[in-house]
Structure 1
Amino acid sequence: MEQKNQVIYDESKIKTLSSLEHIRLRSGMYIGRLGDGSNPDDGIYILLKEVIDNSVDEFIMGVGKKIETTIEENRVRVRDYGRGIPLGKLVECVSVINTGGKYNDDVFQFSVGLNGVGTKAVNALSSEFLVRSHRDGQFTEARFERGKLIKERKGKCEGVSDGTLIEFIPDSEIFGDYAFVDEFIEQRMWNYACLNRNLRLYYNKQKFESKRGLYDLLEAEVGEDIVYEIGYFAGEQVEFSFTHTLNYGENHFSFVNGQFTSDGGTHLSAFREGFLKGVNEYYKKNYSGMDVREGMTGAIAIKLKDPVFESQTKNKLGNTDIRSWIVNEVKAGVSDFLHKNEDAAKALEEKIINNEKLRKELNTVKKEAKAAARKISLKIPKLKDCKNHLTDGEKGKESTIFITEGQSATGSMVSCRDVYNQAIYSLRGKPWNSYGKRRTEIYKNEELYNLMMALGIENDIENLRYEKIVVATDADNDGFHIRNLLLTFFLNYFEELVIAGHIHILETPLFRVRNKKETRYCYSEKERDIAMAEISSPEVTRFKGLGEISPKEFGQFIGENIRLVPVNVKTIKSIPETLEFFMGKNTPDRRDYIMENLV
């Protein structure tokens, strides 16, 4: 059979890209996701991080105690007071891949940026990029546009402090329409401050400084809702803090050479193991890790000469040879803290014993619930599963589960979903309000029990089956109520899912504006008005529910053009207060807020 339109594949189709072209064409390899600035992991914040990391490295090496950052109209300016980039190599250091001083242990011992890529990626992905280095009364300055050198100049700058200035504007050709969110940057600055005691950082004239390191970080996260005073230890290469709260689950913040490792890694698992061993050594008991760590919040930061990360964006540490010394140091630090703080030791033991009691009570309820579930069905009702899961490794990284309301919405999604990566769990109606209820109550509620089992989070979130959990409800009052009830469920029992960035809200269009030639889907009244002005003789449809969108149309809204709003919380300590306000007893304040903000 003759093949039509076969593409010719010969020598002419083989291309060699320059490093600049490669960074711009395959930006995801260097900075992860692009995004528009609405998520703290979006590319524009990675560009900022790469620049500030270099300034922090100067502080780590004992030079430069101040870093100034400003952002005005998307122009980022970072000035440090370190040694300054060597003047004769300034252009190469910001534009030639695999060029830098961090291959030399004498110059940089504990650096995050070891690949000679960071600042070059910032340069290549910026519409304008300026670097100026001041050293010993001399300066060199270079200007670039999209990675290409435009102008270089040199001269004297007597009386100007040594250091490096970098200015850049993220390229809208790469990032589209984006905007910086101050809250995300302020959180990053606070992390830098807590990881580098006595370093002064300024962001738009706001000062960030920590005198007690990870103690301050944890105190800001948990507030006063703690079982005992925060434990703290600082050694040459490891620093950690810990406490327990009344919340469910365990939460950790882990860092390597100042880099936040959102997916943990060897250092975090070693910290958890060392904590358990330290506790058991002190009490001369053999408590289980589940009972010891339930309700725990901890932070650990380590310094490594040769960190091995599992991706360019450095979210997970892979070094295996560091485990034993971290375990031993954490074990000794925890045991020492308990010996010196009898009240804290007593409170912790009471917490562990209570956890053990609750776990046994939970196990009894679990057996009853599982026995009842087996009688109904061997499969989880209302779940249309996908083939790939997070537990499958690389191929499960795109796995998503949509939590929908009712059969009509589910029906629209089932026929157009990606069966390999998209699962659907259909609610029968409004879920039970779990606020203030004990964890055992989940097992008495069939709907939420099945949801928990579908997600694979019964014992801990390490067995989570999906990378993204997406709440997909109608854009009406009932839909918003269901959304709040689901978020209450996750925040009340599985807050670590929210903190780890797994929970999202699906945005679907509110309006369709079309004529015979063109169709536009609008996500707000403003977008609808613009579309109506630009399309002649438009027909406008208002989608009241997901079920009103046909399967043929729905495919694009959960495909490549999917719009997800990540659910996040600024600090752990804000969760109880927020849940109390929205889901607790009716108060005049809550009633007034609902009346003012009712959609």
Structure 2
Amino acid sequence: MAEPNYNEDSIRSLDWKEHIRLRPGMYIGKLGDGSAQDDGIYVLLKEIVDNSIDEFVMGSGRTIEITVSDQKVNVRDYGRGIPLGKVIDCVSKINTGGKYDSKAFQKSVGLNGVGTKAVNALSTNFVVQSYRDNKTKKVEFSKGEIVLDNAIIDTTQRNGTAITFYPDETIFRNYHYIPDFVESMIWNYVFLNAGLTINFNGQKYFSERGLYDLLHKHADVESVRYPIIHLVGSDIEIAMTHGQQYGEDYHSFVNGQHTTQGGTHQAAFREAVVKTIREFYKKEYDASDIRSSIIAAISVRVQEPVFESQTKTKLGSQNMGPDGPSVRTFINDFVKKELDDYLHKHSDVADALLKRILQSERERKDIAGIKKLANDRAKKASLHNKKLRDCKIHFNSTHDKRYETTLFITEGDSASGSITKSRDVDCQAVFSLKGKPLNCYELTKKVVYENEEFNLLQHALNIEDGLDGLHYNNIVIATDADVDGMHIRLLMMTFFLQFFPDLVRAGHVYILQTPLFRVRNKKETIYCYSDDERKKAIEKLGNKPEITRFKGLGEISPDEFGLFIGKDIRLDPVILKDQTIKNLLEYYMGKNTPDRQQHIIRNLRIEKDEVSEDEIKAEPVVDDEAENNLDVA
């Protein structure tokens, strides 16, 4: 039916800042609160730092200063500085920049002149100051509107640009920057720009050997099967080795952009490695045996790259440039020549690589029988899988809500019942555990197929053959905040780290925060996730409000539960720090060692609850201090 009042007044044009604020996802991907590595607040930071990196690439400024607090960002570079007469234009006019006609920037990421403008529009406070030839110009904005335009004055500061911004809390709800995510971003910048120094929150970051240093940092040096192979060419750099872990671990980059979802360059590299190794050993080894346990990094420079989204996490380009070869041919030719030459020159590496391939082949054949039986059982169970309440949209689709797809892993039927009744059936699924899962530390992957629960979970996630078909972007462990719940969390994290570490590395695994207290009076209800929040709520409501302390997820009504898994959901990401998976799991999940006993004794805390018994309607079992002290996430 036609719009009855469709006329000239129905048509309106948005200016640049209105459009960005109305459709922020078009420019920075998902919004989020900072609990995921690809949340918009990190994209904002990256857009600013990218400009400073471009100055370094141009030979101006070898140091970048970055300071990040919970909600404030400051970036200062020592490049050439924005031309003072164009400071306002460069941060507030779309399609304004200095890269369009420069050959030096043909292999840069940010060519469209949108990035800094998006940061400006999506910040409550945005300050840009340029220092150039002993003069400086400072302009302050709020949500893209100029609030202070200072005159050009003299300065003794070194040339460069300083930008400070506060992301808008009305767009990024309850956000805060997680230092581990920012630090990971900083390390990637220095690995990809050897010779660059970044000072982040007072700490210095620097790399001499590029992707070699990246792999040396991420790989378990004690368990790699051979020394890191480091190959450098024009517009391409590769580092690779094999470890002992399950799965494939890739770090891929295009023009300095971390392509977390891979793309044509990563697919070409995986294909080229298989082809080269088969030809070197003159045997058609299974591709999965060749790539099993690989740890690799690849960086390419592409002219006018095409990404599958504004956030540039997946390369879609088929060619290296308008007149260049295909990405596939370019990478295949480089790997074929350089890797083949390397293996011929280093027979010890070639022997170690062959042993790793043969080991993978034996392991694959060893579980082939049980794998087939387990998969047949899983297919039958999927038709009437009582453990899984699936959602309509999956992550491996093209749906707009694919990034919101979430699987809640719950303990028992009561908790899963509350979530099932209150979830968004479009993009939230529930998998119910029947009790405490098996401690799979030091077990082989055979147990994934022998254990029915693990096998059904693997099939629900669709990760048996890697992450390409992953059904859910967010895998959320949702257990009670008591001793049993903490134990189940650790057992589930052990399962993922032992057999599917790529899930954790890619930032897909989270812990659900649920409120410990409900504080209310007749007019208002406040849910509190810590004792500090409870105290503030009591202070706000005053006059002895009613306080309820939740014992477990099953006791929270479905109506209330819907409030905790909606737009205000609070998630703690499971972050894998520098320690190796093997050492981490051995310490926490291995045999009871004196070191672990001492750790528990040192961190044991007995606290007196300040809440009076007549205030509390449900007694606590335990708070989550124990898990926090483990420092796993």
TM-score for both structures, normalised by structure 2: 0.88
**Aligned pair partner of 2:559 in 552, 562, 583:** 552
Cα pair distance change 1:465/1:200, threshold 3 Å: same
Alignment of 1:339 onto 2:336: no
What is the CA–CA distance in structure 2 between the aligned matches of 1:533 and 1:141, rounded to whole Å?
A: 41
Question: 1:238-264 CA deviation, whole Å, 9 max, x = no partner?
Answer: 111011110100111111111111111
Deviation at 1:168?
3.1
> Equivalent residue of 2:209, what SS?
coil
Give, in angstroms, the shift of residue 422 of structure 1: 1.8
Structure 1 residue runs without a partner (length 5+):
none
| Letter aligned with residue 185 of structure 2 | R
Matching residue's letter, 2:431: Y
Instruction: Give the aligned partner of residue 147 of structure 1.
Output: 144
Displacement of 1:116 after TM fit?
0.3
Matches of 1:470 and 1:262 in 2, distance apart? 20
Counterparts of residues 251-400 of structure 1 (less than 5 Å): 251-321=249-319, 322-371=327-376, 378-395=383-400, 396-400=402-406
- Match of 2:449, SS state, is helix
The 5 Å alignment of 1:43-62 reads 43-62=40-59
Q: What is the CA distance between 1:530 and its match in structure 2?
A: 2.6
Aligned with 1:463: secondary structure?
coil
The answer on whether the counterparts of 2:378 and 2:459 sit within 8 Å (CA) in structure 1 is no
Q: Is the 8 A contact 2:35 2:571 kept in 1?
A: no
Preserved contact between residue 57 and residue 110 of structure 1 (Cα < 8 Å): no
Pairing 1:113–2:118 present: no
Tell me the amino acid that sits aligned with residue 49 of structure 1: K
Shift of the alpha carbon at 1:429?
0.5
Post-superposition shift, 1:314?
Answer: 1.0
Q: Deviations over 1:358-378 (max 9, x none)?
A: 111121221233455578785
Mapped partners of 1:452, 1:74: distance in 2: 37
Query: How does 1:107-506 map onto structure 2 within 5 Å?
Result: 107-149=104-146, 150-157=148-155, 161-175=158-172, 178-224=175-221, 225-321=223-319, 322-371=327-376, 378-395=383-400, 396-506=402-512
1:35 Cα deviation after fit: 3.7
Report if aligned partners of 1:380, 1:454 keep a CA contact under 8 Å in 2: no
Match of 1:516 in 2: 522
Please state whether the residue corresponding to 2:535 is helix, strand or coil: helix
Q: CA RMSD in A?
A: 2.5
1:538 to 536, 541, 545: 545
Shift of 1:385: 1.7
Aligned CA distance change for structure 1 residues 146 and 467 (closer, same or farther; 3 Å): closer
CA pair 145-467 structure 1, distance change in 2 beyond 3 A: closer
Distance in 2 (CA, whole Å) between partners of 1:427 and 1:63 is 56
Deviates more, 1:573-582 or 1:290-299: 573-582
Take 2:290 and 2:256, find their aligned partners in 1: how far apart are those partners?
Answer: 28
Aligned with 1:574 (options 580, 586, 598): 580
Percent identity between the two aligned chains: 52
Alignment check: 8 A CA contact 1:60 1:110 kept:
no
Q: More deviation in 52-61 or 531-540?
A: 531-540
> Which stretch shows the higher mean deviation, 86-95 or 65-74?
65-74
User: How far apart, CA to CA, are the structure 1 residues paired with 2:468 and 2:39?
Assistant: 24
CA distance in 2, matches of 1:183, 1:370: 38
Q: 1:11 to 1:454 in 2, by over 3 A?
A: same
Residue-pair matches, total: 593
- State the alpha-carbon separation in 1 of the partners of residues 244 and 35 from structure 2: 31
SS in 1 for 2:227: coil
Distance of 2:267 and 2:380 partners within structure 1? 38
Runs of 5+ unmatched residues, structure 2: 320-326, 605-624, 628-633
SS in structure 2 at match of 1:120 = helix
SS at match of 2:302: coil
Q: How far has the Cα of 1:77 moved from its partner?
A: 3.3
Structure 2 partner of 1:63? 60
Which region of structure 1 is more displaced relative to structure 2, 330-339 or 343-352?
330-339
Matches of 2:590 and 2:89, distance apart in 1: 59
* Structure 2 CA distance for aligned equivalents of residues 32 and 477 of structure 1: 37
CA contact 2:60–2:79 (8 Å) conserved in 1? yes
Tell me how far apart the structure 2 counterparts of residues 493 and 74 of structure 1 sit (CA, whole Å): 36
Pairwise CA distance, 1:55: 1.3
Structure 1, residues 417-458: CA drift from partner, whole Å, max 9, x if none? Answer: 222222211111000110000001222111111111221122
- Is the 2:518–2:549 contact (alpha carbons within 8 Å) kept by the matching residues of 1? yes
Distance 1:330 1:480 in 2: 46
Q: Which residue identity is paired with 1:410?
A: S
Three-state SS of the structure 2 residue aligned to 1:313 is coil
Check if 1:33 corresponds to 2:18.
no
Separation in 2 of the partners of 1:375 and 1:19?
53
Q: Structure 1 pair 308/376, CA: closer, same or farther in 2 (3 Å)?
A: closer
Tell me if the contact between 2:248 and 2:293 (Cα under 8 Å) persists in the aligned partners: yes
CA distance in 1 between partners of 2:382 and 2:177 (Å)? 49
TM-fit CA distance, 1:565: 1.8
Q: What amino acid sits opposite 1:426 in the alignment?
A: S
Amino acid corresponding to residue 561 of structure 2 in structure 1: F
- Written as runs of structure 1 = structure 2, the 5 A alignment for 1:86-97 is 86-97=83-94
Q: Secondary structure at the match of 2:591?
A: coil
Conserved? CA contact 2:280–2:340, under 8 Å: yes
Question: Within 1, Cα distance between the matches of 2:536 and 2:354?
Answer: 62
Letter in 2 for 1:60: V
Shift of 1:111: 1.1
Q: Secondary structure at the match of 2:250?
A: strand
The equivalent of 2:572 in structure 1 is 565
Assess if the C-alpha contact under 8 Å between 1:276 and 1:331 holds in 2. Answer: no
User: Does the C-alpha gap of structure 1 residues 7 and 557 become closer, same or farther in structure 2, counting only changes over 3 Å?
Assistant: farther
Quick check: 1:509–1:524 contact (8 Å CA) kept in 2?
yes
Q: Give yes or no for contact 2:409–2:433 (8 Å, CA) kept in 1.
A: yes
Post-superposition offset of 1:139? 4.2
Pairwise CA distance, 1:29: 2.4
